[in-house]
Structure 1
Amino acid sequence: SDKKKVEKNTEKTKAEHEEVVIPSNTIDIITRSMEFTTKDTIPSGWNTFKYQNLSYETHFFLMDKYPEGKNVGHTIEEVAPVFEEGMQLINEGKSEEGFAAFGKLPEWFGDIVFSGGSGLIGPRETAVTTIYLEPGYYIMECYVKMPNGKFHTSMGMAKPIIVTDEVSGNTPPEPTVNITVSNDEGITYDKPITKGKQVFSVFYKEQKHHENFMQHDVNLVKLKDYANIEALEDWMDWSHPKGLITPVPNGVTFLGGVNDMPAGSTGYFYADLKPGRYAFISEVPNAKEKKLLKEFTVID
């Protein structure tokens, strides 16, 4: 009877995975170097983004909803120079002065609503992410750093996107695994993660700003046997001189996820998991201590 039960559950799992189909009406994004090639205008509501990273560096995209009257010009003039100054000081070993420099950010910067996007995605990989967007003016950005410490945003990865009042009419996908992110429990999920095609829902039960100003996000990472988990944890903190900078730690491949969103929001991402070692991790300092780094193994 136990054998029959296992066979029945296995058949159910296979059937669930076979039903995972990426929508045909995705919004395509392509990066070949330091740019986002995609539509300038998209409908509001649920949208699925297919982000092809054809470059040789790890990237992501994050949708920043700007306050009324502000645009990419204001970012270039009032925001980018502040981050460049602060990061330069940090790179010089002057962390206290660097963080103090961020106090020069304009007041309106605090009104930006970070509205989701993909998690980090490795070179020659594709991330598929579904998020809900309200109408408004957005900046699609990636702030991974080049080997010289320059943010990708300063190199061209800050694209204006208009989200219109017209509603897409799409509905969110049916998840195979539900992830919850909270302040106290960190990253949790509701069932063992198995091989094959998966749709992960990511529910941000709570949000807060960490020491590096970042909020919770979820990134899926494939780890080689020799990958150093402490090196990955350190790399995820952009405010460290060697954090979020090319190259990524040895043995690490990023496979997408859901970028930070307001508390109460849910995003989704697709993945086709092969047997091996994986982790979910947030882009915050001391992720493991905060339960925002969770390793798991997918068995054959």
Structure 2
Amino acid sequence: MKKFKFLMQTKPFNKLIILFLPGILMIQSCKKDQKTTEPEMVESEKDYVVEIITENMDFQMSDTISSGWNTFRYKNLSPQTHFFLIDKYPEGKTSEDAEKVVGPVFDSAMKLIMEGKTEEGYAEFEKLPEWFGEVVFVGGSGLLSPNQVGETTLNLKPGKYIVECYVKMSNGVFHTSMGMTKDIEVTTNDSGNKELSADIDVNVSSTEGIVFNDSISPGEHTFSVFFKDQIVHENFVGHDINLVRIDGNSDLKVLENWMNWADPKGLIEPAPQGFTFMGGVNDMPQGNKGYFTASLEPGTYALISEVPNASTKNMLKTFIVLND
């Protein structure tokens, strides 16, 4: 994922450019006045908490946050499924550049692709600016169902970033095109937070899949997620970790197919019934670690990555939380 520029200069261009489709559709913004909230101070080991609220197609959060370890408390108060992903753009580039320079390219390309004119659509990507190859995904939350609250903890360096979501509307329009993008600045002031202590360690890689101790008791847990590697999968994005509660006899194949955004019916509203998304850690580069917390009641759960055929890659792992 760090080698965006190299990938964009290789052939065939029409395949590799799709690597960046989620990131760009996530940053094309129909900018509206968005509410901001100041970081919340709480008395706990996470003394500095960044609150994010979504009520419709928005990120209500502070424009500036401290560097270092930050816990993001994401409250999804909307009727749609969302996540947040943090992108590092080249210096001097903002969501305005994405909207005026990059956005129109993806608008025209996606219109052609949805009309079945795939070759013509891919050709549109050749109009993207050269600097686009420098974009890096630095983490975020996993998917979060309506009326859920998730906490994800990341270590951020000072700089300017873009926050976005690329779940799709029922008509295939990405949430970013509906305004779900926001510029934030990470300052040089350190948050003062310490790295969390996890009671459940998760490793994820392209070779071993998702590996963790699945003997989990009810109650609140802190999961660490270590990215042993990061590769470009068949849907041209990297792997991540999403926590899902599974109701009854819900079909895991439905969940697996929905997690592939490249499928016309993937990551599209409404999310499949019988599954509650509870957060996680979004796409990060190799060697990085993030954390998320969740309160688990007795029941069946899964950790799943947003990749095609997750089960065959050991990236769909179910586990049962039993009564003590």
Q: Could you tell me the TM-score, scaled by structure 1's length?
A: 0.88
Please, which runs of 5 or more residues in structure 2 have no aligned partner? 1-43
Question: How far 1:216 sits from its partner (Å)?
Answer: 1.0
Q: Does 1:112 align with 2:135?
A: yes
Q: In structure 2, how many angstroms separate the alpha carbons of the residues matched to 1:120 and 1:174?
A: 23
Q: How does 1:111-150 map to 2 (within 5 A)?
A: 111-150=134-173
- The 3-state SS of whatever aligns with 1:289 is helix
Contact conserved, 1:48 with 1:128, CA < 8 A, in 2? Answer: yes
- What is the aligned partner in structure 2 of residue 258 from structure 1? 281
Greater shift after overlay, 238-247 or 73-82?
A: 73-82
Q: Which amino acid aligns with 2:322?
A: I
Q: How does 1:215-294 map to 2 (within 5 A)?
A: 215-294=238-317
Q: How does 1:65-104 map to 2 (within 5 A)?
A: 65-95=88-118, 97-99=120-122, 101-104=124-127
- What is the aligned partner in structure 2 of residue 16 from structure 1? none
Contact conserved, 1:66 with 1:136, CA < 8 A, in 2? Answer: no
Question: How far 1:73 sits from its partner (Å)?
Answer: 1.0
Q: Does 1:158 align with 2:181?
A: yes
Greater shift after overlay, 281-290 or 97-106?
A: 97-106
User: Structure 1 88/298 Cα, relative in aligned 2: closer, same or farther at 3 Å?
Assistant: farther
Q: In structure 2, how many angstroms separate the alpha carbons of the residues matched to 1:100 and 1:222?
A: 40
Contact conserved, 1:90 with 1:239, CA < 8 A, in 2? Answer: no
Please, which runs of 5 or more residues in structure 1 have no aligned partner? 1-20
Q: Which amino acid aligns with 2:167?
A: V
Equivalent residues, number:
280
Q: Does 1:192 align with 2:215?
A: yes
Q: Does 1:174 align with 2:209?
A: no
Q: In structure 2, how many angstroms separate the alpha carbons of the residues matched to 1:62 and 1:202?
A: 16
Q: In structure 2, how many angstroms separate the alpha carbons of the residues matched to 1:231 and 1:97?
A: 31
Question: How far 1:96 sits from its partner (Å)?
Answer: 5.4
User: Structure 1 103/290 Cα, relative in aligned 2: closer, same or farther at 3 Å?
Assistant: farther
Greater shift after overlay, 99-108 or 129-138?
A: 99-108
- The 3-state SS of whatever aligns with 2:171 is coil
Contact conserved, 2:51 with 2:74, CA < 8 A, in 1? Answer: yes
Q: Which amino acid aligns with 1:148?
A: N
Q: In structure 2, how many angstroms separate the alpha carbons of the residues matched to 1:297 and 1:98?
A: 44
Q: Could you tell me the TM-score, scaled by structure 2's length?
A: 0.82
- The 3-state SS of whatever aligns with 2:74 is strand
- What is the aligned partner in structure 2 of residue 57 from structure 1? 80
Q: Which amino acid aligns with 2:164?
A: E
Q: In structure 2, how many angstroms separate the alpha carbons of the residues matched to 1:100 and 1:286?
A: 28
Q: In structure 2, how many angstroms separate the alpha carbons of the residues matched to 1:84 and 1:237?
A: 21
- The 3-state SS of whatever aligns with 1:69 is coil
Q: Which amino acid aligns with 1:35?
A: D
Greater shift after overlay, 268-277 or 183-192?
A: 183-192
User: Structure 1 78/163 Cα, relative in aligned 2: closer, same or farther at 3 Å?
Assistant: same
Question: How far 1:118 sits from its partner (Å)?
Answer: 0.6
Q: Which amino acid aligns with 1:256?
A: G
Q: In structure 2, how many angstroms separate the alpha carbons of the residues matched to 1:24 and 1:197?
A: 18
- The 3-state SS of whatever aligns with 1:212 is coil
Q: Which amino acid aligns with 2:129?
A: P
Question: How far 1:106 sits from its partner (Å)?
Answer: 2.9
Greater shift after overlay, 96-105 or 70-79?
A: 96-105
Q: In structure 1, how many angstroms separate the alpha carbons of the residues matched to 2:119 and 2:307?
A: 18
RMSD, matched Cα: 1.7
